[in-house]
Amino acid sequence: MGVNSNGAVANPILTLENIHVQFGGITALRDEHLSVAPGEIVGLLGQNGAGKSTFVNVAAGAVRPKRGTMFVEGRRVDILGKPREIERVGIKVIHQEPTLVECLSVADNICLGRPGEWRRPAARKQCARKALQLLGSAMNVDRLVSSLGFAERKVVDLARALSTDMKVLLLDEPTGALGQDETDHLLNLLRNLARQGKGIVYVSHDLRVVLAVCTRLVVLRGGRVVLNEPAEAFNLTKLSKALAPTPSKTKQPTTGAEAEIVLEIKRDNQLLQFPRGGIIGLFGLAAGAQFRLTERLFGLGGSIEATLDGKRYAPSGPRNAIKRGVYYVSADRERDGLLGRMSALENLVLPWIERHTWAGTYSRPRAAVVFDKARLHLNITGAFMDGPISALSGGNRQKIVLGRWIFGDRPRVLLLSHPTQGVDVGARRDIAKALRELANDGVTVLVSSSEADEIELICDTTYICFGDHWPRSEAAPDWAESLLQSLLVQMATNTETRV
Partner 1 sequence: MTARAIGYFLARNGTFVGCILLTIFFYYWNSNFLSLLNLRNIGEALSALGVVSIPLALLMIGGAVDLSVGSVASLSGVVAATCMINAGSVALGIIAGLIVGLTSGLINGLLVSYYRFNSIVITLGALSVWGGLALNLTGGRTVIGLPESFTGLALIKPAGIPLDVFVLLATILYGVIALEILPYGRRLRAAGGSPRAAFLMGVPVERTQLLMFVQVGLAAAVAGIMLASKLAAATPITGQGMEINSLTVVLLGGVAFTGGVGRISRVSAGLLFVGILRNGLVFLNTSQFLQQILIGLTLIVAIVFDETISKLGQGRPLALKLENEHEP
Residues that bind partner 1 (CB under 8 A): 298, 317-319, 321-323, 328, 330, 335-342, 346, 350-351, 353-354, 356-357, 360-362, 404
CB of 396 to partner 1, least distance (A): 17
Residue number, 222 or 318, with CB nearest to partner 1 = 318
Question: Among residues 410, 415, 403, 329, which one has the least CA distance to residue 373?
Answer: 403
At CA 78, angle to CA 230 and CA 199, rounded to 5? 25
Return d(Cα 414, Cα 405) in angstroms, integer. 8
CB of 355 to partner 1, least distance (A): 9
Residue number, 285 or 345, with CB nearest to partner 1 = 345
Residue number, 360 or 477, with CB nearest to partner 1 = 360
Residue number, 140 or 357, with CB nearest to partner 1 = 357
CB of 301 to partner 1, least distance (A): 12
CB of 488 to partner 1, least distance (A): 33
CB of 321 to partner 1, least distance (A): 8
Q: Across the beta sheet with 41-45, what order do the strands follow?
A: 91-94, 168-172, 199-203, 41-45, 216-221, 224-230
Residue number, 362 or 384, with CB nearest to partner 1 = 362
Residue number, 404 or 472, with CB nearest to partner 1 = 404
CB of 350 to partner 1, least distance (A): 6
CB of 361 to partner 1, least distance (A): 5
Return d(Cα 448, Cα 418) in angstroms, integer. 6
Residue number, 267 or 356, with CB nearest to partner 1 = 356
Residue number, 64 or 319, with CB nearest to partner 1 = 319
Residue number, 14 or 385, with CB nearest to partner 1 = 385
CB of 399 to partner 1, least distance (A): 16
CB of 337 to partner 1, least distance (A): 6
